[in-house]
Amino acid sequence: MLGLRSLATGVPVSMLANPARAQSTSLDDPQFLILNTSQAGDPLNCNAPGTYLDSKILHPGDAKMAKRSFMIGGQAWDAAAPWAALDPVFERCALIHHSTETEQHLHQPEVLGLMGSVLAKDMAVSAFAAQLAPALGTIQPQPVTLGTVDSSEAISFRGRPQPMLNPTSLSTVLGGTEGPLANLASLRDKDLDRLNRFFKERGTLEQRRMLDAYATSQGQVRKLSTDLLDQLAALKDNGADAQVAAAIVLIRMKVAPVVTVHIPFGGDNHFDDGLGKETTETVAGMATLAKLFDGLKSVQLSDKVTFASLNVFGRTLTRKDFGRSHNRNHHLTMLVGSRVKGGVIGGVVPKNDDYGALAIDSASGRGGDGGDVSPATSLASVGKTLGAALGLPRDVLDATVVNTSSGKTVGKVIQAALK
């Protein structure tokens, strides 16, 4: 049976028999991931390299957003001036023009689940996190979510929603007790184990599972590195800068393989007359990214951490409402990491009464007719490309990103975005 399914799907029998095969410590240079994600569908796609080739595309008139030229992947590209913040990382930054195939905010979880194309209907970053955790030696496999604007941005792991945290609460939540109570911690742990046993002896299987999970979380807390907690305590707000600072600390503490943040780039700007909010937040957001990459460099993590930005959708490249509206046909995913090759992948073309993403040639990265990655499969392909950038083998990705009805693998790794 597995053999037939393997023939049908192209996924190796070994993977079908054990999709969790990649959960080993043998991955080659596995990467941590910091994911920026927004259910607002920010206009990050609107002033990016690749959107200045068509003069009809709307850009803010503010001088701070003036067009500038940058070298990305050995080629000159125009973009809004704030993108200069990424100059130091452009050689390892892939900007992929594609589609998320939705224009509904409520599909944020579905987009992170590659529109239902992840094994067991998980979110892609959670499936990747589960596979990366053993190799990275993190305390927990679940992603950590920072800076969500509401529960629609919550990350689920194997279908289980994860807590929504913020930088200012982290040191209070994770910081240990002090004084005499700290001295008694090991004694309490021992006696809490006794209480757990008391309940387990009386419980049903499912109650015992819950108790086991509780005991596991207790053990995870004890593995936390306390010397980095002071850095978390220094964070005094929950803004984007604090989120990326916290993400770096959590990765240094090896808390989780994936940390998600929310860096605003203009938000849900239907009524952004004059695109003032888009300007302000793009300037601030790019500055935050620069701080992130500087921060990673300062602690020698640039080659260990990959950054990605994936929102629910992009925004219209022309004026709609009083600002920009939702765009199901165009979104920009940003990947920055040691396995990522600098370049602009794909492009935009007039579609309906706005613009949409072109098909992508996965080998060259060029956009246009005949590309082997169609807009309809581009989100799954971006997911696979992200997985590859994180160090996951292709057969694992083929088994993870699948049509959950047919079992066939969906999308393909966009090799042009990778070294």
Binding site for other proteins (CB under 8 A): 104-106, 139-140, 142, 144, 150-152, 154, 160-166, 168-169, 172-177, 179-181, 183-184, 187-188, 191-192, 194-196, 198-199, 201-211, 213-214, 217-218, 220-221, 224, 255, 270-271, 320-322, 325-326
| Least Cβ distance, residue 21 to other proteins (angstroms) | 18
Instruction: Tell me whether residue 8 or residue 213 sits nearer to other proteins (CB atom).
Output: 213
Residue 310 near residue 38, CB atoms below 8 Å:
no
Instruction: Tell me whether residue 169 or residue 364 sits nearer to other proteins (CB atom).
Output: 169
Q: Is 334 helix (H, G, I), strand (E, B) or coil?
A: strand
| Least Cβ distance, residue 95 to other proteins (angstroms) | 27
Instruction: Tell me whether residue 56 or residue 194 sits nearer to other proteins (CB atom).
Output: 194
| Least Cβ distance, residue 351 to other proteins (angstroms) | 14
Q: What angle do CA 229, 254, 145 make, to 5 degrees?
A: 80
Instruction: Tell me whether residue 269 or residue 409 sits nearer to other proteins (CB atom).
Output: 269
Residue 106 near residue 138, CB atoms below 8 Å:
no
| Least Cβ distance, residue 192 to other proteins (angstroms) | 6
Q: Is 155 helix (H, G, I), strand (E, B) or coil?
A: coil
Instruction: Tell me whether residue 61 or residue 198 sits nearer to other proteins (CB atom).
Output: 198
Q: What share of the chain is helix, strand, coil (3-state, %, to 5)?
A: 45, 15, 40
Instruction: Tell me whether residue 174 or residue 345 sits nearer to other proteins (CB atom).
Output: 174
> 369: closest CA among 380, 378, 360?
360
| Least Cβ distance, residue 159 to other proteins (angstroms) | 9
78 alpha-carbon distance from chain centroid: 25
Instruction: Tell me whether residue 84 or residue 233 sits nearer to other proteins (CB atom).
Output: 233
| Least Cβ distance, residue 142 to other proteins (angstroms) | 6
| Least Cβ distance, residue 109 to other proteins (angstroms) | 8
Tell me the β-bridge partners of 409: 402
| Least Cβ distance, residue 114 to other proteins (angstroms) | 19
| Alpha carbon distances (Å) from 220 to 145, 182, 214, 276, 316 | 17, 17, 10, 45, 44
| Least Cβ distance, residue 107 to other proteins (angstroms) | 8
Instruction: Tell me whether residue 64 or residue 158 sits nearer to other proteins (CB atom).
Output: 158
Measured between alpha carbons, how far is 176 from 234 in angstroms, rounded to an integer? 16
Residue 105 near residue 39, CB atoms below 8 Å:
yes
Instruction: Tell me whether residue 61 or residue 163 sits nearer to other proteins (CB atom).
Output: 163
| Least Cβ distance, residue 229 to other proteins (angstroms) | 11
Measured between alpha carbons, how far is 203 from 210 in angstroms, rounded to an integer? 10
The one-letter code for the residue type at 229 is L
> 306: closest CA among 339, 343, 341?
339
Instruction: Tell me whether residue 116 or residue 176 sits nearer to other proteins (CB atom).
Output: 176
- Close Cβ partners of 314 (under 8 Å, ≥ 6 residues apart): 41, 43, 44, 45, 46, 100, 327, 330, 331, 332
> 344: closest CA among 98, 111, 58, 102?
98
- Close Cβ partners of 46 (under 8 Å, ≥ 6 residues apart): 57, 58, 59, 266, 278, 314, 315, 317, 324
Measured between alpha carbons, how far is 37 from 9 in angstroms, rounded to an integer? 31
